[in-house]
Structure 1
Amino acid sequence: MKEEMSSVDIRYIVEELKSEIIGARVDKVYHEGDEVRIKLHKTGEGRKDLIIEAGKRIHLTSYIKESSSQPSSFAMLLRKHISGNFVEDIEQHDFDRIVKIKIGKFKIIAELFKKGNVVFVTEDNIILGAIRYEEFKDRVIKPKHEYKYPPARENPLEVSWDRFVELIMGEDTEIVRALARRLNMGGLYAEEILLRAGIDKRKNTRELTKEELRTIYDKMKEVFTAPKKPNIVYKDGKMVDVVPIDLKWYEGYEKVYFETFSQALDEYFGKLTIEKAKAEKTKKLEEKRKQLLATLKRQEEMIKGFEKELKKNQEIGNLIYANYTLIDGLLREFSKAVKNLGWDEFKKRIEEGKKKGNKIALMVKGIEPESNSITVEIEGKRVKLYLDKDLNENAEIYYEKAKKAKHKLEGARKAYEDLKRKLESIEREIEEEEKKIQVKKIEKRKKKWFEKFRWFISSEGFLVIGGKDATTNEIVVRKYLEENDLYCHADIWGAPHVVIKDGQKAGEKTIFEACQFAVSMSRAWSEGLYSADAYWVYPNQVKKQAPSGEFLPKGAFMVYGKRNWMYGIPLKLAVGIINYEGEDLVMCGPVDALKTHAKRYIVIRPGDTKKSELVKKIKKIFEKWGYKVPEEDIMSVLPPGEGDIAEVVE
């Protein structure tokens, strides 16, 4: 699979980029690792992003990575000098894998060979900066040094006929190698030229006729001036290559065509980059997965072995009892014979009996004096009989072996199931890690009915809602408090009314979480308290009926009857992303609720960080986890007042 652009690819992309980026204004520059992305704006055409990956590629891209909060020194250098300037020119240097981009009084030189580099120079080629600083035998990449290009190589587009013949005939090797090396085109295009010319690529250069050389020369010019037809080449559903023109070499392969070469390169390298990132991110997990698969295979073989052993010994034990009279007689006769004759004479008598065709002797398949046993064949099965034990004891030996095999089999099966669960867990981890590669976006959507209130889903799965202000407090009780719910409230003025929907089915854990939510979303948080009291009651105890002579303002209700108190509840919440009814939502609630519904969450407590700053910190953590969440969505779920991050659970 192709991993970097060839000189031919660069020729085509540079020609295409001339019309795309010349005249565009530089808005901003980003740099990370080997990649430099230049954000451009072209009048009438809008935004364009040029990606340069040292040693690999250059093209317009739509794969925009989230930039790190702190730009690199190289990015800052480029921003300082070229932001607001216009791209004046772009060209390939001598058909080499080097691209020069002129922006105002400066140049960016993209080296796309070997390890590669991106070098920033003045119009006089004095180096101002680079991705990496290096020293070579004939040139130095360091600030204040003059930038020198690597030694020039032949350009197949400009090479004359005489020079072409001189270069090829000066080699004593296969023609395909001579073309690739001496004319700076790489193996693929050398193969393509010879395929079009109808000449065996293995033919030695010294054996070529003048006519054959002329055909190769003409086909070379034909290939390098072929009309652009960008495409990605696939084999068996997998990407193989991305090329700017149609190649005979890839006849029979599946191809996907693109309007521009940039689009083809972007699709190819974009997917390649993501696949590599996935492979790198899941490398250790994949190794564990392979080990588990190998162990599972061994475990399967063990299970088969124990099943076979169990069956075999069970059958032999049954066989002994099924042939009770015969085996009991054999044990008696063999024991008596060995006792009277000794083992040597016994063996001799058995061999003589076999020669004479004696049925009993023919049954004997093995004699082992050291274990005092004789193996006989009964009904096609070999049975070892111990002469110092009776029939029942012999049968028990096999039943005991079967029992041990069964015990081992059960253990092996349990271990097998454990391994399968581990494998499934690893595969889920791999899937989760792969998801992190691409930033997920929480799109603007129609909000769920409960999102106009404070809310969370309890660890037991119950929806809990609370008011945000006088109006929503009024609505929570008047419209949404129903007979099967429970009502919670903090013992502090200005606390929200909190309702556990269907709460009379909830357990103590949900009720505690709802009371903790009530105290945490109250003034107790903004006052910096670390604990407060709360209570819960039934819906029929909450009324809009004030005591005689008193008035209840908007959002206020009276609670009558017994209150079920919870004392000293800590003010502590967590915030994270949960998936609820198929949608990703930002949820702020008790820690146990987040622990149940989110794999990662941020624990918060009353503190000194301004709410706006706290929101920014949470937003950055979400982005690190792969979620792009608007600040207002985070702001709307947090408790009132300042707070601090107590813990980040990943």
Structure 2
Amino acid sequence: MKEEMSSVDIRYIVRELQWLVGSRVDKIYHDGDEIRIKLRTKEGRADLILQAGKRFHLTSYVREAPKQPSSFTMLLRKHLSGGFIDAIEQHGFDRIVKICVGDYTLIGELFRRGNVILVDGENRIVAALRYEEYKDRAIRPKVEYRFPPARENPLEVTKERFIELMRENEELELVRALARKLNMGGMYAEEISTRAGFDKTTPVKELSDDDLLRVYEAMMNTFNDEPKPNIVFKDGKMHDVVPIDLKIYDGLEKRYFTTFSEALDEYFGKITIEKARMEQTKRLEAKKRQLLMTLKKQEEMLKGFEEGAKANQEIGDLIYANYALIERLLEEFRKATERLGWDEFRRRIEEGKRAGNKIALMVKGTDPKEKSVTIELDGKKVRLYLNRSIGENAELYYEKAKKFRHKYEGALKAYEDTKKKLDEVERLIEEEMKKELNVKRIERRKKKWFEKFRWFVSSEGFLVLAGKDASTNEILIKKHMGENDLYCHADVYGAPHVVIKDGQKAEERTIFEACQFAVSMSKAWSRGVYSEDAYWAYPNQVTKQTPSGEYLGKGAFMVYGKRNWLHGLPLKLAVGVINYEGEDFVVCAPVEAIKAHTDRYIIIRPGSLRKSELVKKIRHILEKWGYKVREEDVMSVLPPGNGDVVEVVG
């Protein structure tokens, strides 16, 4: 089962994650070998995981953060939080990734034990997960960071160099030559051999230069193949996760994913959850094993005490059952030992046994110190004390039986207590298996098409859309504004383009709300302005065409013809939860628009409360009303800049 990513995997995931460039680093978490970077992207929240020596991808499996952040965590937060990702790169074809954030670079070494290192703009080490010394480099603070010695990059090697490398040791099998000489794992070396049409065990010396060129082409095609991320199963269990379809896995069960990150996350996420579950139950399982061992010993003790009580009771009963015989034997043995002494008594017994004397044959042992003779009666050995009466002899066995019963009762109580403890531990284990793990999966539903924009539903039921930035402004006007819509815009720098879908059927109320939305979502809010002007126009008036010699940047458009102005529009919005197309959404919109769709809402205006504090305040109110919302969901719908809650309705 695969446990870490290969160089090929890293090549594909780095290419896939380029869309994260420009994302803001929100917070960083560290647990063991894992670094999790919480990002704010144009698509919303994203969690990027970097595990030393293992993996690098987006994740929805989020481990509960340690209560006390490590010093490494604090250093990473100090230098990276609030910064923007400028680049995500792979170093050559090595298992090394680089995340560039402003003047700093976070380097993830995914080979062997691995490491995570933060370097500054001068390539000097600021901090590392582990400080280590190697033959050719050192990982220490303030030391210049050096990459491990460079290895051959199969993507940059020329055909001539490829043949030269293969010929360096022609005794090697093809698969070994590829893996050793060209920095790739054995699995991809086998895949390339298969694609080239050669058995992987073919010695290089048996291949012509033309054959090796076929292998070269197969290698280039493999490493540039169309992504088809999938998890490979063997015998119903996950076996591998790969970015492309591999011929070596033909015939095996595969599960395909839209992105390689999703495939990696599912694969490593399941492993993470299983490990977390094992960690949570490990202590209880150890306790269970200990209790089972104790229980086994107690069962053996109970059995011994029960047998001891039974055996002694039976001997006591046997003495009384053979009262006359035992009384006669006690009398004869007592007189004989007094008259002859114990040595002579034993000698006479042995003579009697040889002569076949029945009484002598019953004797199995003597003990002068205890003044006792052990006889065999009905298959049981009975020790008779000559200085005691028959009743006293029987009572000795009854007393022993009584002691065994007392021990049995005590052991039985201890046994029952152990069973209760075992039942409790098994219950706790069962609860742990059901309990929510400290690894939680963030379920991200598929977003509706309109959620890529700012949006609301007018009091008349019309969908109103606005751009979030230059890119979404461009997309909104070019792809989503139809001939039956209306266009709105504020006379403010940085104001979004606003489109009322099917707006030519709308009345003045909806147009007023859309224009109010345009001014409220502009830079005017962050300047603390209380009113601004906006206008509306028809779609055919909005174009990218400019007068000769002029140029419009991304997200900018020209508006020709009559503009229908609305003056002194108030910068005032409301936040509430509305149901639209069968789902509940947190929406920020003009008060009348929100009021038409919910009885509970929070009215806000530009103010002095920091946006982060405003978000917390709004979230707290929504939660009191029974809505469980994330801070990032509230943050994403609010206008830019600080604000104040001026009224809570509901």
TM-score normalised by length of structure 1: 0.54
Distance across 2 between alignment mates of 1:96 and 1:73: 26
Query: Given the alignment of the two structures, is residue 14 of structure 1 paired with residue 14 of structure 2, yes or no?
Result: yes
Pairing of 1:113-124 with structure 2 (within 5 A)? 113-120=111-118
Greater mean alpha carbon deviation, residues 93-102 or residues 429-438: 429-438
* Offset, 1:400: 1.2
Structure 2, unmatched stretches of 5+, are 444-612, 628-650
Do the aligned partners of residues 182 and 295 (structure 1) sit closer, same or farther apart at CA in structure 2, a change above 3 Å counting?
farther
* Offset, 1:415: 1.5
Question: Counterpart in 2 of 1:414?
Answer: 413
Summarize deviations over 1:308-346 as a string: whole Å, max 9, x none: 222222222222223333333333333333333333333
Query: Given the alignment of the two structures, is residue 325 of structure 1 paired with residue 324 of structure 2, yes or no?
Result: yes
Distance across 2 between alignment mates of 1:218 and 1:631: 62
Pairing of 1:298-447 with structure 2 (within 5 A)? 298-427=297-426, 435=435, 437-438=437-438
Q: Name the Cα RMSD after superposition.
A: 5.0
Pairing of 1:136-215 with structure 2 (within 5 A)? 136-137=133-134, 138-139=136-137, 146-155=144-153, 158=157, 160-166=162-168, 169=171, 184-185=183-184, 210-211=205-206
Distance across 1 between alignment mates of 2:371 and 2:177: 80
Distance across 2 between alignment mates of 1:40 and 1:281: 29
Q: Give the residue type in structure 2 aligned to 1:299.
A: Q
SS of the residue 1:269 aligns to: helix
* Offset, 1:404: 0.9
Contact 1:74–1:129 (Cα < 8 Å) also in 2? no
Q: Give the residue type in structure 2 aligned to 1:438.
A: N
Contact 1:230–1:244 (Cα < 8 Å) also in 2? yes
SS of the residue 1:152 aligns to: coil
Question: Counterpart in 2 of 1:31?
Answer: 29
* Offset, 1:302: 1.6
Do the aligned partners of residues 199 and 175 (structure 1) sit closer, same or farther apart at CA in structure 2, a change above 3 Å counting?
closer
Do the aligned partners of residues 439 and 212 (structure 1) sit closer, same or farther apart at CA in structure 2, a change above 3 Å counting?
closer
Distance across 2 between alignment mates of 1:355 and 1:81: 105
Question: Counterpart in 1 of 2:600?
Answer: none
Question: Counterpart in 2 of 1:267?
Answer: 266
Pairing of 1:488-499 with structure 2 (within 5 A)? none
Question: Counterpart in 2 of 1:126?
Answer: 123
Do the aligned partners of residues 142 and 327 (structure 1) sit closer, same or farther apart at CA in structure 2, a change above 3 Å counting?
closer
Q: Give the residue type in structure 1 aligned to 2:14.
A: V
Distance across 1 between alignment mates of 2:329 and 2:424: 57
* Offset, 1:242: 4.8
Q: Give the residue type in structure 2 aligned to 1:99.
A: V
Q: Give the residue type in structure 2 aligned to 1:211.
A: E
SS of the residue 1:81 aligns to: coil
Summarize deviations over 1:577-601 as a string: whole Å, max 9, x none: xxxxxxxxxxxxxxxxxxxxxxxxx
Do the aligned partners of residues 381 and 239 (structure 1) sit closer, same or farther apart at CA in structure 2, a change above 3 Å counting?
farther
* Offset, 1:15: 4.5
Greater mean alpha carbon deviation, residues 159-168 or residues 135-144: 135-144
Summarize deviations over 1:244-272 as a string: whole Å, max 9, x none: 57889999998766554423332343344
Distance across 2 between alignment mates of 1:180 and 1:287: 43
SS of the residue 1:370 aligns to: coil
Q: Give the residue type in structure 1 aligned to 2:231.
A: N
* Offset, 1:62: 0.8
Distance across 1 between alignment mates of 2:119 and 2:233: 37
Question: Counterpart in 2 of 1:62?
Answer: 60
Question: Counterpart in 1 of 2:624?
Answer: 632
TM-score normalised by length of structure 2: 0.54
Question: Counterpart in 2 of 1:75?
Answer: 77
Do the aligned partners of residues 143 and 312 (structure 1) sit closer, same or farther apart at CA in structure 2, a change above 3 Å counting?
closer
Pairing of 1:428-467 with structure 2 (within 5 A)? 435=435, 437-438=437-438
Aligned residues: 434
Do the aligned partners of residues 426 and 165 (structure 1) sit closer, same or farther apart at CA in structure 2, a change above 3 Å counting?
farther
Distance across 2 between alignment mates of 1:252 and 1:305: 60
Distance across 2 between alignment mates of 1:303 and 1:410: 9
* Offset, 1:275: 4.3
Summarize deviations over 1:346-391 as a string: whole Å, max 9, x none: 3333333333433333333333333322322222222222222232
Summarize deviations over 1:221-259 as a string: whole Å, max 9, x none: 498778755226577x87666555788999999876655
SS of the residue 2:412 aligns to: helix
SS of the residue 2:364 aligns to: strand
Do the aligned partners of residues 372 and 184 (structure 1) sit closer, same or farther apart at CA in structure 2, a change above 3 Å counting?
farther
* Offset, 1:297: 2.5
Q: Give the residue type in structure 2 aligned to 1:126.
A: N
* Offset, 1:162: 3.3
Pairing of 1:564-643 with structure 2 (within 5 A)? 632=624
Does 1 or 2 have the higher relative contact order (CA < 8 Å, sep 6+)? 2
Question: Counterpart in 2 of 1:4?
Answer: 4
Contact 2:124–2:144 (Cα < 8 Å) also in 1? yes
Summarize deviations over 1:598-638 as a string: whole Å, max 9, x none: xxxxxxxxxxxxxxxxxx9xx9xxxxxxxx99863799xxx
Contact 2:14–2:90 (Cα < 8 Å) also in 1? yes
Distance across 1 between alignment mates of 2:313 and 2:238: 56
Contact 2:54–2:114 (Cα < 8 Å) also in 1? yes
Summarize deviations over 1:11-34 as a string: whole Å, max 9, x none: 44335445xx35663362423244
* Offset, 1:410: 1.2
Summarize deviations over 1:462-511 as a string: whole Å, max 9, x none: xxxxxxxxxxxxxxxxxxxxxxxxxxxxxxxxxxxxxxxxxxxxxxxxxx
Distance across 2 between alignment mates of 1:408 and 1:311: 13
Pairing of 1:461-480 with structure 2 (within 5 A)? none
Distance across 1 between alignment mates of 2:375 and 2:360: 9
Distance across 2 between alignment mates of 1:331 and 1:630: 96
Do the aligned partners of residues 163 and 176 (structure 1) sit closer, same or farther apart at CA in structure 2, a change above 3 Å counting?
closer
Do the aligned partners of residues 245 and 357 (structure 1) sit closer, same or farther apart at CA in structure 2, a change above 3 Å counting?
farther
Question: Counterpart in 2 of 1:230?
Answer: 230
Which one of 86, 97, 101 corresponds to residue 95 of structure 2? 97
Greater mean alpha carbon deviation, residues 284-293 or residues 223-232: 223-232
Contact 1:93–1:99 (Cα < 8 Å) also in 2? yes
Question: Counterpart in 2 of 1:49?
Answer: 47
